[in-house]
Chains A and B, each alone.
Chain A
């Protein structure tokens, strides 16, 4: 029988090295890996070039800055979502938390910047923590737990705004408003804050022990537990992180709009999930990266912007195009994943 086994093996440089037989298979795998990692970036570059050539109004400082700032809030939400999805989970509560965070920040801004920031972070972080506890300790499905939190947070929001009829305003002269309205080097403050958060997030995910646990839990939870990884603690942390990100994004958004708008944020959870998946993170967990999510957000925003520029197209088509695009990406990912024997 040895004969058939050996004849199947590829030519080997060192016969005593068992792993060398696999070397030939990995080239196509690496191409697939590159496509998965940078596909979104290439698409973004192509989309930007195409849009610049088609519309004079696209590549203007105003339009770009506008897109950057409006991307910033979704990007912060997607940052937290990236951690959650890499652990193999999902967080549907972020849209509601985003709106709640905005309202709480606007209300709190009358007591100063510290309250305006800390109040939404505390409330949304706490809700995220409860999500994490229910998912990790009580072993409930993330989908159900965060769906409940989404409804619950929406309820809290309605109760603090008299059924949504009351809009709290932010005083434009406060430092808090500057966080949303101010500009550094001609670029809005939210953009800088978002960039700083992404750098920090990427360092944590790639270079910290916690980051390794995030990948391990999503990659193979049982194995991670057998290897001694703190599975429950990791899950609780990522959901708390996601809640904090959503609350902060809501607060920044309120500072930018100088008011706490209650109707915002619905459907944002799905937008954030789309951005993360388009950015190359596997919905099944265990694989993904922070920079991809930023690219995913930008791609969604560029598409929206382009459709807005085509005057004849109803803006409702934005969602059709975004949806179709997401479907394409997931199909491509599944295909690449199959080639790489992931799924």
Chain B
């Protein structure tokens, strides 16, 4: 097999993050190459370098035996590198055929578009991919799967040598996934290099020939996928050796809680199209329950569904036996559920406001009388939590944007604790904060559980998850596949559970 597109010693640094660190990667003609890694591993950065979105800081890009550098995505496209994004990037109001041919419409006399020919060719192009639709219909009348196929047809029809697919199956039905796989195999047989990004292990083994694993911006493995078993793959992704004896106490968790007997939170059969397929979780007061699983397994979705931040198709959430109206964050907050979201910049912190204002934001309705805010009550709460959570700021009036990541996270935590929650959902509470602050946040979680709070902990940091949790519920493709309790709460058991075949919803 000939190398089509390769990079050597590629590095890319963003302020504060080394996203890619001397990575080698080669896509070969007629090969489906899986590119995998957890969050922050550098997959998307690598793809963006390959497609001309980012320029690398160091390293070389070789395409068809020539050194190249793509200034824009358009350059890469013209050279024959097509990308299919996770979200369909087409124009929904335009017809299927117009989308397929935008910018290269067949033209007849007077330079006018020859629609008859365009429709015929569009129809043929889609039929070759096994899709039969009326190409004159607006794109948005098609299902997501068929739209994805149109994007694929467009990518292939521009004489692509390399087709990059970024999680193409994340919104497809199982049947549509099979159609997509058929097309991928067809592309491979035509000698096209396919780069396939996905978090679904089953898919990788079904359709890919080679695999490259990235972790923390570094290449950790590359080779034929057949030579790598699932367990090994998972351990490479997560950076943990199977059976490796680990010293306890790397984290600040005591691991000792005295949970109550009756669960305060009961989430039953949470179902959400393409994301969750009947997830149930119980948490008792004073208990920390970890949600394990790979990226895309439905961890964040479960937390958001419980907090009402994402609408569910089915399922129920009960707090102390009382049902909570689904899909309504205010109802969840009133019931005593607080969610600390994964992306604190986008979904939590208001950087331009002060520490005091950020903490009081959610609690304001309870601190107001006749629409007027009770200032002294706020001062008291802010003071209490700044001390209790050891928030390092020059004072309550410092802007949150000026604080460190760890202190920002504590401010958010204070905001939700000010609501007197019964259940605290923490989605990646220590991501992106420095080690000292991390230890402090971990210690706080421990203390909060000790005070009788029910805590749901999501973390990509295995140590944190294993040592912080009393129980770990393992998710895979939106389904609970295992629950680790007692002495079974170990990294080994977690990795084995994730690597197990099955558990997929199809």
**A: which residues have CB within 8 A of B?**
1-2, 5, 14-22, 25-26, 29, 203, 207-209, 212-213, 215-216, 219-220, 222-224, 226-229, 286-287, 341-342
Give the shortest distance, in Å, between B47 (CB) and chain A (any CB): 14
B176, A216: Cβ atoms closer than 8 Å: no
**For residues 49 through 107 of chain B, which have their beta carbon under 8 Å from a beta carbon of chain A?**
73-74, 77-78, 85, 89-94, 98-99, 102-103, 105, 107
Contact of A18 among B91, B113, B145, B505 (CB under 8 A): B145
Contact of A22 among B90, B91, B93, B146 (CB under 8 A): B146
Query: CB of B149 within 8 A of chain A?
Result: yes
Residues of B within 8 A of A207 (CB): 112-113, 115
Residues of B within 8 A of A212 (CB): 94, 98, 102-103, 105, 113
CA distance A341 to B141 in the complex (A): 9
Most chain A Cβ neighbours within 10 Å, of B90, B91, B131, B506: B91
B94, A215: Cβ atoms closer than 8 Å: yes
Closest to B83 in A: A226
CA distance A22 to B139 in the complex (A): 12
B142, A215: Cβ atoms closer than 8 Å: no
B141, A22: Cβ atoms closer than 8 Å: yes
B90, A220: Cβ atoms closer than 8 Å: yes
Closest to A18 in B: B145
Closest to B111 in A: A208
CA distance A228 to B89 in the complex (A): 12
Give the shortest distance, in Å, between B79 (CB) and chain A (any CB): 12
CA distance A223 to B90 in the complex (A): 5
A216, B102: Cβ atoms closer than 8 Å: yes
Q: Can you show 20 pairs from A to B with CB atoms below 8 A apart?
A: A1-B479, A14-B132, A15-B175, A19-B142, A19-B145, A22-B146, A29-B141, A207-B112, A207-B115, A209-B103, A209-B107, A209-B113, A212-B94, A213-B103, A215-B91, A224-B102, A227-B154, A286-B94, A341-B140, A342-B93
B131, A222: Cβ atoms closer than 8 Å: no
B90, A227: Cβ atoms closer than 8 Å: yes
B111, A216: Cβ atoms closer than 8 Å: no
CA distance A94 to B111 in the complex (A): 30
Residues of B within 8 A of A216 (CB): 91, 94, 98, 102
**For residues 119 through 160 of chain B, which have their beta carbon under 8 Å from a beta carbon of chain A?**
130-133, 137, 140-143, 145-146, 149, 154
Residues of B within 8 A of A26 (CB): 137, 141
Query: CB of B22 within 8 A of chain A?
Result: no
Contact of A25 among B73, B94, B141, B505 (CB under 8 A): B141
Residues of A within 8 A of B179 (CB): 16, 18
Residues of B within 8 A of A229 (CB): 102-103
Residues of A within 8 A of B304 (CB): none
Interface 1/0s, chain B 377-395, versus A by CB < 8 A? 0000000000000000000
Residues of A within 8 A of B149 (CB): 18
Give the shortest distance, in Å, between B29 (CB) and chain A (any CB): 24
Query: CB of B277 within 8 A of chain A?
Result: yes
A19, B131: Cβ atoms closer than 8 Å: yes
Most chain B Cβ neighbours within 10 Å, of A212, A222, A229: A212
Closest to A204 in B: B112
Query: CB of B174 within 8 A of chain A?
Result: yes
CA distance A134 to B175 in the complex (A): 48
Query: CB of B483 within 8 A of chain A?
Result: no
Closest to B505 in A: A1
Give the shortest distance, in Å, between A17 (CB) and chain B (any CB): 5
A227, B103: Cβ atoms closer than 8 Å: yes
Give the shortest distance, in Å, between A6 (CB) and chain B (any CB): 8
Give the shortest distance, in Å, between B448 (CB) and chain A (any CB): 35
Residues of A within 8 A of B143 (CB): 18-19, 21-22
Known: A16-B179, A226-B73. 10 other contacts (CB 8 A): A1-B506, A22-B146, A203-B112, A209-B103, A215-B91, A216-B94, A224-B91, A227-B102, A229-B103, A286-B94
B103, A223: Cβ atoms closer than 8 Å: no
A219, B93: Cβ atoms closer than 8 Å: yes
Give the shortest distance, in Å, between B136 (CB) and chain A (any CB): 12
Closest to A230 in B: B103
CA distance A228 to B102 in the complex (A): 8
B91, A223: Cβ atoms closer than 8 Å: yes
CA distance A227 to B505 in the complex (A): 34
CA distance A337 to B103 in the complex (A): 27
Contact of B277 among A1, A20, A209, A286 (CB under 8 A): A1
**For residues 33 through 60 of chain B, which have their beta carbon under 8 Å from a beta carbon of chain A?**
none
Most chain A Cβ neighbours within 10 Å, of B85, B98, B278: B98
Give the shortest distance, in Å, between A337 (CB) and chain B (any CB): 10
Residues of A within 8 A of B107 (CB): 209
Residues of B within 8 A of A220 (CB): 89-92
Query: CB of B203 within 8 A of chain A?
Result: no
CA distance A20 to B175 in the complex (A): 13
CA distance A227 to B130 in the complex (A): 23
Contact of B131 among A18, A208, A227, A341 (CB under 8 A): A18
Residues of B within 8 A of A14 (CB): 132
